[in-house]
Amino acid sequence: MDQLQLLEIVAAAKAGDAKGYKALLEEYGPRLFGYFVRSTGNIHDAEDLLGELTFRLVRRLKTYDERGRFDQWLFRIAANMVRDRIRRIRAAPATLSMSVEDQSDRPLADRLAADGPSADGALLASEAQERLAVALEQLDETTRQMVLLRYLGEVSFKELAQLFQCPLGTALARVHRGLKALRQHMGADDGPQ
Amino acid sequence: MDLNDRQYERVGRFLAGETVELTDAERAAAEDLRRGEAEFSTALQVSPDQAVLDLALQKAMRTLNERRRRHILFLRPVAAAAAIILAVAGWHFMTQADRSVAIVVEPLPVAEVADVYALGESDMDLDLIATELADLSSEVLMQHETDRIETEMDDLQHRVSSFWLEAADEWPDEI
């Protein structure tokens, strides 16, 4: 979707057109849902977060300034939601799990596939996806969030530094180290499929 | 070779489009970070089911409409009360017009204020109108209170002046 198309869709959505919102969700849905799934390790939490984000999108779109990048605006909201969710999980670790393994001890990739129409089972059940989920789980929370926001949200390094209140160099260092760790966990040769 | 944060900052500025002369190691890091986008941006995505998206959107629209309707229902009596306050304050000023108090507010008809609320397109509009009405009514009341005190002070001063002038007139000629 080019910038002009995006602005037209945003304008339609701002005018209250449900088709505009639908187009935005279809465009950014896979990236947002990927971010939520990878952040929570739980597809049901991810669906909840996607629903909540949709509500916030509908409610707040009027505050979006077209001069800024839409995906960065959207992912900033998503990042704040995930941060709140992580805080709640830390406060009540027994009720929610951030682990790749859920209560049924099935790997995330299997659950994504087995949870039926919620995700593209064929893709997510692949071994590479499972290794990616496990590799992400090995990263510390901040690094994982930075990597996900950078590579799913296309959030700039400058924006990452602002979001995580750290110097620009630190943001880059963390993302780069995270990237190297992901490659190492997944096997340097084959990488993600 | 691992870079330090200072070197990474130079890489960051370079990736942001600034003109920065990078060393070989810094350039390699910049390329590696770019390569990561190609490697991981698609792999990390997870497509939600269309039904999940549709449901999320329907729910969001329904919740928003419901909240807006509740907001309007809640704010209508508030708007009516604000309009009554304005009307009373306006009437009070009018009755005191002969005491040189400026009338600064024209009372709004209740129905008109309620219509403005009904026309508000979002929670933000409604909040804005409510805030403005509240500010206006408090300003009117404050203005009224200030004017009343000033009028009383003027009156008192006038009576004091009159007393001395009257007293001087009554003094006996022989003094």
First-residue to last-residue Cα distance in chain A: 24
- The pLDDT value recorded for residue B165 is 56
More confident residue, B79 or A120: B79
Q: Are residues A10 and A86 in the same domain?
A: yes
Select the residue of B13, B32, B41 nearest A176 (Cβ to Cβ).
B32
> How many structural domains comprise chain A?
2
Domain termination site, one of A40, A73, A98: A98
> A29 vs B48: CB contact, 8 Å cut-off?
yes
- The pLDDT value recorded for residue B108 is 59
> B46 vs A26: CB contact, 8 Å cut-off?
no
More confident residue, B173 or B163: B163
Task: Give the pLDDT mean for A114-124.
Answer: 49
Q: Is the residue at A27 inside a domain?
A: yes
**Predicted confidence (pLDDT) per residue in B82-122, tens digit:** 888 888 888 877 776 655 555 555 555 666 655 655 554 55
> B47 vs A147: CB contact, 8 Å cut-off?
no
Smallest CA–CA distance, residue B78 to chain A, in Å, is 23
Instruction: Determine contact: B40 vs chain A, CB below 8 A.
Output: yes
Q: Are residues A82 and A146 in the same domain?
A: no
Q: Report the alpha-carbon distance of residue A148 to residue A39 in Å, rounded.
A: 8
Q: Are residues A86 and A1 in the same domain?
A: yes
Domain termination site, one of A44, A68, A98: A98
Task: Give the pLDDT mean for A64-86.
Answer: 90
Smallest CA–CA distance, residue A176 to chain B, in Å, is 6
Confidence class for position A31, pLDDT limits 50, 70, 90: very high
Q: Is the residue at A107 inside a domain?
A: no
For chains A and B, what is the number of CB pairs under 8 angstroms? 150
Encoded amino acid at A64, one letter: Y
Domain boundaries, position A82 = 1-98
Q: Is the residue at A105 inside a domain?
A: no
> A34 vs B51: CB contact, 8 Å cut-off?
no
Task: Give the pLDDT mean for A132-147.
Answer: 92
More confident residue, B155 or B130: B155
> B64 vs A59: CB contact, 8 Å cut-off?
yes
Measured between beta carbons, the chain A residues lying within 8 angstroms of B46 are 30, 33-34, 37-38, 46, 112, 119-120, 124
Tell me, what CATH number does A150's domain have? 1.10.10
Share of chain A above pLDDT 90, in %: 50
- The pLDDT value recorded for residue B174 is 44
> A176 vs B49: CB contact, 8 Å cut-off?
no
Q: Write down the ipTM of this complex.
A: 0.74
Q: Report the alpha-carbon distance of residue A61 to residue A10 in Å, rounded.
A: 8
Q: Is the residue at A3 inside a domain?
A: yes
Q: Report the alpha-carbon distance of residue A118 to residue A43 in Å, rounded.
A: 8
Q: Is the residue at A37 inside a domain?
A: yes
Interface test with B, best of A59, A64, A174 (most B CBs within 10 A): A59
Q: Is the residue at A122 inside a domain?
A: no
Q: Report the alpha-carbon distance of residue A96 to residue A89 in Å, rounded.
A: 6
Average pLDDT score over chain A: 82
Encoded amino acid at A25, one letter: L
The region of weakest confidence among A36-50, A167-181, B56-70 is B56-70
Would you list the domain boundaries of chain B? 5-40, 50-170
Instruction: Determine contact: B16 vs chain A, CB below 8 A.
Output: yes
**Predicted confidence (pLDDT) per residue in B47-83, tens digit:** 888 888 888 888 888 887 887 788 778 877 788 888 8
- The pLDDT value recorded for residue B167 is 46
Domain termination site, one of A48, A70, A98: A98
Q: Is the residue at A130 inside a domain?
A: no
- The pLDDT value recorded for residue B93 is 76
Select the residue of A51, A119, A154 nearest B47 (Cβ to Cβ).
A119
Instruction: Determine contact: B15 vs chain A, CB below 8 A.
Output: yes
More confident residue, A95 or B44: B44
Q: Is the residue at A4 inside a domain?
A: yes
Tell me, what CATH number does A11's domain have? 1.10.1740.10
**Predicted confidence (pLDDT) per residue in A92-109, tens digit:** 765 444 444 444 444 455
- The pLDDT value recorded for residue A117 is 42
